[in-house]
Amino acid sequence: MELDLSGYDIKISDDMNTWEEVNLLYNAALKQIQTKIEILNDEFQEVHRYNPIEHVKYRVKGPESIVKKLKRNGYESTIENMVRYVNDIAGIRIICSFTSDIYRIAEMISGQKDIQVLTIKDYIMNPKPSGYRSYHMIVSLPVYLSDKIVNVKVEIQIRTVAMDFWASLEHKIQYKFEGKAPAHINSELHECATMVANLDARMLSLNEEILAIEK
């Protein structure tokens, strides 16, 4: 995925190859994480006859978003600052059926020897004021090039289908109103977030009851 920097005020210290290498690194890190997740999912399907992952989304953040985030946090728009301060340039979203799957997958990812977990934010146990729920991890993993090894940061978000549906709607609303949605809409969103949490809890309980009967 090539990112076009023309028209964006990003200062590159050396030459264009510097940006191209950075872009290559983030895409390589995503490919490695994708392979790891697919292997874990295949193992669950084969050994446990259960598929904990509904689907996975991957993306590299665009230059406009990177510049906005740097400026919002008071940093100059340089490649060095981008790599150092923007932790979600490479992002993966894992969608699960149940909340128990979220923690199971997070534990499996953390257990990979070549993955270092840098930060964890559990917005399921501690939702944002808006009602947003998700499990966030910033991890670092080595990307092996022909002449060196580079550690690259990737953000991993793990959430249920219901959480993802709510977050998608909330994102669209905040984008439309530029973060200043009317109070009654924010109130409705928060109420819906509570309903989503209750639904996830009931669905998990129902699934556990079904599994107990099967045993």
Q: Which long-range contacts (CB under 8 A, 24 or more apart) does 32-39 make?
A: 32/141, 32/143, 33/92, 33/139, 33/141, 33/154, 33/156, 34/58, 34/92, 36/109, 36/112, 36/115, 37/92, 37/94, 37/109
By annotation, the residues acting in catalysis are 155
The answer to whether 118 and 139 are in contact (CB under 8 A) is yes
Q: How far is CA 36 from CA 39, 76, 105, 203, in A?
A: 5, 35, 11, 28
- Is the Cβ–Cβ distance between 92 and 57 less than 8 Å? yes
Q: In what order do the strands lie in the sheet with 135-144?
A: 53-60, 90-96, 149-160, 135-144, 116-122
